[in-house]
Amino acid sequence: MAERYADVIVDISHEKVDRPFQYRIPQELGQTVYPGVRVHVPFGKGNRDKVGYVVDVSDRADYPADKIKSITAVDEKGVTALSAQIRIAYWLKRQYGSTTIAALKTVLPVKQKLRQLEQKKVTRLPDADKLRAAACVCEEKHQTAKARVLRALAEEEVLPYELIRRKLNVAPSTMQALEKQGFLAIETESVYRNPVKHMDTKERRVVLSSAQSAIVEDVMQDYRAGTPRTCLIHGITGSGKTEVYLGIIEQMVAMGRQAIVLIPEIALTYQTLLRFYKRFGDRVSVMNSTLSQGEKYDQIRRAEAGELDVIIGPRSALFTPFPHLGVIIVDEEHEASYKSESAPKYHARETAIRIASMYGASVVLGSATPSLEAYYRARAGVYKLYEMTDRHGNSRLPSVYVVDLREELKHGNRSVFSAKLRDLIGQRLRAGEQTMLFLNRRGYAGFVSCRACGHVMKCPHCDVSLSEHRGGRLVCHYCGYEEIRRAVCPSCGSKYLMGFKAGTEQIVEALRREFPSARVLRMDADTTRTKESYEKILAAFADEKADILVGTQMIVKGHDFPNVTLVGILAADLSLNRNDYRAGERTFQLLTQAAGRAGRGDKPGEVVIQTYQPEHYSIVHAAGQDYLGFYEEEIAYRQLMQYPPVAHMLAVLVVSGEQGAGAKLCGELAAVAANRAKERAQSLQVIGPAEAAIGKINDLYRHVFYVKHSDYQALVEIKDALELFCRDQEAKNVSVQYDFDPMNTY
Ligand code: ADP
Ligand code: ZN
Ligand code: ZN
């Protein structure tokens, strides 16, 4: 039998994850040694006996065999919460590709000295009726921030200060003013005691509809039977998904189980958090980016100690070490923010399913516009599918108009606003209602299209749009295909073949020209360098200090502005023609979400979608709010091209300070992958290598290739082979990154 070796970390105090040391696994210990197990090892010159954790196992020695010591024994009491975390780290490393240390750091909390935590709570002083009266007065004076606080306190006697500040978008100065006026008291409570526990809990309870309780009971029945499932709840916003989550968690908690709730940070709204606080009081904790490392560590310690039942947070909340985890909920499971952008580039959905299987927990995914991945698997019976079709309450869907920009050009309108949109903006200004104008520009890499017929220049091999480069070249960033930019449209012969160049600034300028009296706010990466400026803009818009908010995709998510009755999407094609295979999916999701921003209050909403491709299925189905129609067409495209989720795709990115070295290694790695495929006669496809879409960042050159295969594990093996190849290389100044089923093109 071949020798086996274990990487052991001897000092795993959380603040400092040390580098692993390699030890031989004696034959007699055999299969009892695997990642997560505690072992005794001889350490240092004196061979002192130390306890360490196994973080990796392999059949390859990294050092001469006689230099490698042997593990002395397996620690029988070895299965701790930490063991489970290490097993997760090991899985991340294998499944997504990263160093052991990077994987451990993803999973283990950073321990840091914690200054005494201060949590402030806000208590109302006069009674609720007086606050409501005062809120009316504030509203008349257009002091809407004050009014928001007063109304919130009229509903809840005590609220966490953070919740008001962050989620109601209220400035500290406003809070101080209200305190001076005698409306409220701001008090400091030491150490993580959740103030909401004092809240009035005898509020009316919602009675779940039969559709809702059927889902809750079904999930719980599978769980109790010892066959926990992954399920997908497909239901439009407002269909009652969150109530289902709450119902499941409540039953789990009653059984002594714990719950992790993932919600993208941008969707963690005041109302949502309040619902969790009210249901679970100080047994719930929220994790978000405003917490310091120390505060995060503290929460994790509380979770381990059994002081919490529910944790809510973005991606990283997944690694909360609950000893009796019962369910993981992934709300808005289609969100791109669930994919980590640094190694290991894990996806929270897949990782949740893995963690749940370790604990025998259930997984509940929810979305109004499910990812193709989730819906595909639900259709195939891998996940259980629940459809929620009715909406609670009477909020109506907005009216959607699709405007063909080619027609506008024909009629001599070269403005960024179509006649329809201009007309509706004017109406809103006269009615004192608000408008949001949305320009999706993220990842926009200079696609070229015809203004007369809408034809988009695409790669003949990959069916994604080509990107315009200097020197009049059009380049495919999957396969490297290139062609010379043409003067006229190959489809209709028009000379209006050009890149789309309007930015948010140009739109604000156009508004100034056409609506000189309108008050306009702009929100994009330039105007929101700091977290505060982002909140300031949102608060100003919520306070109706502006009539029109112009922004990038950051304005479409999570925010409810009841006075917004018009949403304009200026160029829906921008996201459609991103040079990657998820462009159609992302466009459909963005348009559906953006449309959902209109008419949140009592007033009905209208949406204008401006596009050069009104016949594109993403746009047609988004306008019709027809998820299934969209899914059928999109999955057919993925099937045809063998893109995920039908097959799997691994992106290998080589980053190097030296262009030649990077290109060389990238070429070699692509050849290794291709050879392997040949050897095993696998139906593996290697695409590229090519220069990345952004060929150079910070003086580092980027080269990329893609590998496609129907079986994910085959790609994991390719990744392992490439890692092995790199280990034997003296490649200095070059790093290799792996990204499975990437969300973006490189
Ligand atoms: P989603 O999470 O799908 O957007 P929510 O769970 O937030 O939907 O429900 C939308 C609204 O309908 C919320 O205000 C919620 O309180 C209310 N609601 C949902 N289910 C019920 C119910 N069974 N009875 C009363 N109100 C409900
Ligand atoms: Zn044309
Ligand atoms: Zn191509």
Average pLDDT over residues 503-530: 83
| pLDDT of residue 540 exceeding 70 | yes
Burial group, residue 14, by CB count within 10 angstroms (0-12, 13-18, 19+): middle
Average pLDDT of the segment spanning 186-206? 55
In the reported structure, the alpha carbon of residue 189 is separated from the centroid of ligand 2 by a whole-number distance in angstroms of 66
Q: Does residue 272 line the site of ligand 1, with CB under 6 A?
A: no
Residues in the chain, total: 746
Does 568 share its domain with 713? no
* pLDDT at 1 (0 to 100): 57
How remote is the CA of residue 239 from the centroid of ligand 1, in Å?
A: 6
Q: What is the DSSP string of 179-206?
A: HHTTSEEEEEEESS--GGGGS---SPPP
Surface-to-core class of residue 275, CB atoms within 10 Å of its CB (0-12 exposed, 13-18 middle, 19+ buried)? middle
With 70 as the cut, is the pLDDT of residue 116 above it?
A: no
SS3 of 212-259: the string is HHHHHHHHHHHHHCCCCCEEEEEECCCCCHHHHHHHHHHHHHHCCCEE
d(CA 33, CA 282): 40
% of the chain beyond a pLDDT of 90: 40
Q: Classify residue 372 by its DSSP letter.
A: H
Closest alpha carbon to 432 in 548, 529, 354: 548
pLDDT, residue 630, reads 97
> pLDDT grade, residue 668 (50/70/90)?
very high
452 in a domain, yes or no?
no
Q: Measured in angstroms, how far is the CA atom of residue 242 from the centroid of ligand 1? A: 7
**For ligand 1, what atom is nearest to the CA of residue 212?**
23
Strands 48-58 and 4-9: antiparallel
pLDDT of 192 higher than 50: no
Residue 664 lies in a domain: yes
* Complete DSSP assignment for 544-600: T--SEEEESGGGSSS---TTEEEEEES-THHHHTSSSTTHHHHHHHHHHHHHTTTT-
Rounded CA separation 361/372 (Å) = 24
Residue 198 pLDDT more than 70? no
In the reported structure, the alpha carbon of residue 446 is separated from the centroid of ligand 2 by a whole-number distance in angstroms of 17
Give the residue from 278, 330, 285 showing the smallest Cα distance to 309.
285
Q: Which atom of ligand 1 is nearest to the CA of 368?
A: 3
Residues less than 5 Å from ion ligand 2, measured at CB:
450, 452-453, 455, 489, 491-492, 494
How far is 320 from 577, CA to CA, in rounded Å?
38
Asked if 78 and 222 sit in the same domain, the reply is: no
Could you tell me the pLDDT band of residue 232, with boundaries at 50, 70 and 90?
A: very high
Indicate whether 228 and 366 sit together in one domain: yes
On whether residue 449 sits in a domain, the answer given is: no
Q: What is the 3-state secondary structure (H, E, C) of 404-464?
A: EHHHHHHCCCCCCCCHHHHHHHHHHHHHCCEEEEECCCCCCCCEEEECCCCCECECCCCCC
Are β-strands 548-551 and 434-438 bridged in parallel, bridged antiparallel, or unpaired?
Answer: parallel
Q: Is 212 in the pocket of ligand 1 (CB under 6 A)?
A: yes
Which of 128, 158, 191 delimits the end of a domain?
Answer: 191
> How confident is the model over 459-475, as a mean pLDDT?
77
Strand arrangement of the beta sheet that strand 4-9 belongs to:
21-25, 4-9, 48-58, 38-43, 73-74
Same domain for 510 and 375, yes or no, is: no
Same domain, 166 and 226: no
Q: Is the pLDDT of residue 469 over 80?
A: no
pLDDT of residue 511: 93
Please tell me if the CB atom of residue 237 comes closer than 6 angstroms to any atom of ligand 1: yes
Q: How far is the CA of 508 from the CAs of 343, 412, 444, 532, 539, in angstroms?
A: 38, 21, 19, 22, 19
The answer to whether residues 288 and 367 belong to one domain is yes
Number of domains the chain contains: 5
pLDDT band at 348 (very low <50, low <70, confident <90, very high): very high
CA–centroid distance, 588 to ligand 1, in Å, is 24
Ligand having the closest approach to the CA of 492 = 2
Six-digit token string for 193: 């005691």
**Distance (Å, whole) CA 66 – CA 64:** 6
* Residue 485 counted as domain residue: no
Does any domain span residue 265? Answer: yes
Model confidence at 500, pLDDT cuts 50, 70, 90, reads low
Say how far apart CA 327 and CA 216 lie, in whole Å: 12
d(CA 523, CA 518): 16
Nearest to 398 by CA among 592, 553, 572, 619: 592
State the Cα–Cα distance between residues 483 and 185, nearest whole angstrom.
Answer: 67
Do the Cβ atoms of 473 and 701 come closer than 8 Å? no
Q: What is the Rg, in whole angstroms, of the alpha carbon atoms belonging to the chain?
A: 28
User: 142: alpha, beta or left, given left = phi > 0 and alpha = psi -120 to 50?
Assistant: left
Angle between helices 81-96 and 348-359 (to 10 degrees): 140
CA distances from 313 to 92, 118, 283, 286, 300 (A): 20, 20, 14, 6, 12
Among 15-29, 110-124, 598-612, 621-635, the least confident range: 110-124
Do residues 438 and 331 both lie within one domain?
A: no
Domain assignment present for 198: no
Ligand 1: which of 205, 215, 243 to mutate, judged by most atoms within 8 Å of the beta carbon? 243
What are the angstrom distances between the C-alpha of 431 and each of 49, 397, 434, 563, 567?
78, 21, 9, 11, 15
Distance separating alpha carbons of residues 374 and 389, to the nearest angstrom: 18
Average pLDDT over residues 238-248: 92
| Dihedral sign (CA 658, 660, 663, 669) | negative
Which of 638, 663, 694 represents a domain boundary (last residue)?
638
Q: What backbone torsions phi and psi does residue 514 show, to the nearest 5 degrees?
A: -90, -30
Domain of 568, CATH number, reads: 3.40.50.300
- Residue 194's pLDDT band, with cuts at 50, 70 and 90, is very low
Q: Residue 228 is encoded by which pair of tokens?
A: 């926990």
Q: Mean pLDDT throughout 458-477?
A: 78
Mean pLDDT of 74-92: 81
Q: Residue 530 has what pLDDT? A: 67
> What are the φ and ψ backbone dihedral angles of 76, each rounded to 5 degrees?
-65, -35
482 Cβ contact list (under 8 Å, min separation 6): 473, 474, 475, 476
Match 């004196």 to its residue by tokens.
Answer: 46
**What pLDDT is recorded for position 721?**
92
Q: Which of 638, 657, 686 is the last residue of a domain?
A: 638
- Could you tell which of 207, 242, 270, 627 is best to mutate to test the pocket of ligand 1, judged by most ligand atoms within 8 Å of the CB? 242
Same domain flag for 282 and 369: yes
DSSP β-bridge partners for residue 362: 327
pLDDT bracket for residue 265 (50, 70, 90): confident
Q: Count CB neighbours of 402 within 10 A.
A: 22
Q: What is the Å distance from ligand 1's center to 480 Cα?
A: 49
* Most confidently modeled range among 136-145, 291-300, 361-370, 400-409: 361-370
Spatial CA neighbour of 521 closest among 554, 499, 495, 489: 554
The answer to whether residues 156 and 40 belong to one domain is no
The confidence band for 610, taking pLDDT boundaries of 50, 70 and 90, is very high
- Please report, for the domain that includes residue 91, its CATH number: 3.40.1440.60
Q: Which residues pair with 234 in a beta bridge?
A: 367, 387
Q: Is residue 394 part of a domain?
A: no
Assess if residue 350 is contained within a domain.
Answer: yes
- Tell me what the mean pLDDT of segment 384-412 comes to: 83
The Cα 276–Cα 490 span in angstroms is 56
| 168 lies in the same domain as 289 | no
Q: Cβ neighbours of residue 106 under 8 Å, at least 6 residues apart?
A: 89, 92, 98, 316, 319, 340, 344, 346
Identify whether residues 694 and 594 lie together within a single domain.
no
d(CA 700, CA 51): 41
| CA–CA separation, 506 and 512 (whole Å) | 10
Q: Among the residues of 41-127, which ranges form H helices? A: 81-96, 100-107
Residue 337 φ/ψ, nearest 5 degrees = -70, -5
Q: Which domain holds residue 296?
A: 210-388
Using a 6 Å cutoff on CB, does residue 64 contact ligand 1? Answer: no
Ligand 1 atom nearest to 331, measured from its CA: 2
Q: What phi and psi, each to the nearest 5 degrees, are found at residue 143?
A: -95, 75
Query: For the whole model, what pTM was predicted?
Result: 0.83
Band of pLDDT at residue 705, cut at 50, 70 and 90:
very high
pLDDT at residue 63 is higher than 50: yes
Judge if 507 and 572 occupy the same domain: yes
CA-to-CA distance for 440 and 556, rounded, in angstroms? 10
Q: What is the Cα–Cα distance from 564 to 170, expressed in whole angstroms?
A: 19
95 residue type, one letter: Q
Our answer on whether the CB atom of 238 is closer than 6 Å to any ligand 1 atom is: yes
> Ligand 1 within 6 A of 99 CB?
no
Tell whether omega for the bond before 689 is within 30 degrees of 0, i.e. cis. yes
Model confidence at 505, in pLDDT bands (50, 70, 90)?
A: confident
Residue 315 φ/ψ region, left for φ over 0, alpha for ψ in the -120 to 50 degree band, beta for the rest: alpha
Kindly report the average pLDDT of the chain as a whole number.
Answer: 85
For the beta carbon of residue 195, count every other beta carbon within 10 angstroms. 23
The C-alpha atoms of residue 609 and residue 369 are separated, in whole angstroms, by: 18
Does 618 contact ligand 1 (Cβ within 6 A)? no
211 Cβ below 6 A of ligand 1 = no
Ligand whose nearest atom lies closest to the CA of 267: 1
Q: What is the CATH number of the domain that holds 670?
A: 3.30.70.600
**If pLDDT is split at 50, 70 and 90, which confidence band does 434 have?**
very high
pLDDT at 487 over 90: no
Most confident of 250-254, 272-276, 493-497: 250-254
Does 442 score more than 70 pLDDT? Answer: no
